[in-house]
C-alpha cells in the first residue's frame, strides 16, 4: 500500500489514520461484547468477539509491524480511547437490558403507583422501617429504553424523591410497557420481552 503514496505521507498520515480507525472498530466491539456478556446475551457476545479478534489479527497486527514513530503510537492509543467511548455511547443508545427501580418515601405513594401502572409499569409496594421511621418502598422492573419515562413520572410525583436504579441481569415474566416494534433494531433486541 505504501507504494501508492509518498513514504512520508504514508508513514505520518495514512498509516496512523488506519491504525486509529481500526482501533476504534475493534475496541468498540470489545466494549459492546463485555456489556453483552454482563447482560447474559449468549448469542450476540461470541459474534462480536469474532469480529473484534478478526480486526485485530488481520488489520492491527499487520499495521503494527510497520509502525515506526510517535505518531503511530499516538494513533494507537487515541483509537483505543475513542473506541472505549464510542462503544459505551453505542451501548447507551441501544439501552439493552432491564433495571430495577427502588423508590423510598415517607409519603403515601399510592398515587405514584397508579401513575406508573397507567404508564404500563408493574409495581410492588412494601412497608419498611427507615432511620426516620416508617417508609414506603416501591419496586418496579423496567426496560432500560423506558427509564427516562419512568424517572419523569417519579420526579413529577416529587422532585426530591429518593430512588435507586440498578441493572438487572435476568428478568422472567413481569409487566412491561410495550416497545415500538416497528423499528427493526428494537424488534431484534426486544424479542421475547413483550409488554403485558
Please give the DSSP secondary-structure letter assigned to residue 177.
P
187 pLDDT tier (thresholds 50, 70, 90): very low
Of 68, 94, 120, which residue is a domain's last?
94
| pLDDT > 90? residue 151 | yes
For the chain, what is the domain count? 2
Residue 66 lies in a domain: yes
What is the structure's pLDDT at 64? 66
More confident residue, 147 or 177: 147
What is the structure's pLDDT at 61? 73
Of 49, 71, 94, which residue is a domain's last?
94
> Domain range spanning residue 185?
98-190
| Cβ–Cβ under 8 Å, residues 10 and 69 | no
Burial of 172 (C-beta count, 10 Å sphere; 0-12/13-18/19+) = exposed
Taking only the tens place, the pLDDT of each residue in 80-99 is 999 999 998 888 888 777 88
More confident residue, 62 or 184: 62
Distance CA 195, CA 141 (A): 12
Residue 89 lies in a domain: yes
- 5: helix, strand or coil: coil
Task: Average the pLDDT over 150-171 and give the result.
Answer: 88
Taking only the tens place, the pLDDT of each residue in 113-144 is 999 999 989 898 998 887 777 889 999 998 88
CATH of residue 164 = 3.30.70.120
Whether the pTM exceeds 0.75: the reply is no
Amino acid at each position: 500500500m505504501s507504494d501508492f503514496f509518498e513514504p512520508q505521507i504514508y508513514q505520518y498520515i495514512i498509516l496512523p489514520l488506519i491504525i486509529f480507525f481500526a482501533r476504534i472498530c475493534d475496541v468498540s466491539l470489545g466494549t459492546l461484547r463485555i456489556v453483552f456478556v454482563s447482560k447474559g446475551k449468549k448469542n450476540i457476545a461470541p459474534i462480536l468477539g469474532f469480529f473484534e479478534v478478526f480486526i485485530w489479527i488481520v488489520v492491527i497486527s499487520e499495521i503494527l509491524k510497520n509502525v515506526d514513530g510517535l505518531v503511530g503510537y499516538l494513533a494507537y492509543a487515541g483509537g483505543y480511547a475513542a473506541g472505549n467511548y464510542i462503544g459505551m455511547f453505542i451501548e447507551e443508545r441501544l439501552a439493552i437490558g432491564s433495571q430495577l427501580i427502588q423508590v423510598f418515601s415517607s409519603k403515601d405513594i399510592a398515587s405514584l403507583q397508579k401513575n406508573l401502572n397507567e404508564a404500563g409499569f408493574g409495581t410492588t409496594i412494601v412497608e419498611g422501617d427507615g432511620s426516620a421511621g416508617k417508609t414506603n418502598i416501591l419496586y418496579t422492573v423496567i426496560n432500560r429504553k423506558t427509564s427516562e419515562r419512568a424517572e419523569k413520572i417519579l420526579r413529577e410525583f416529587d422532585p426530591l424523591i429518593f430512588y435507586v436504579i440498578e441493572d438487572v441481569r435476568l428478568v422472567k415474566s413481569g409487566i412491561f410497557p410495550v416497545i415500538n416494534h416497528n423499528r427493526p433494531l428494537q424488534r431484534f433486541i426486544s424479542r421475547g420481552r413483550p409488554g403485558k
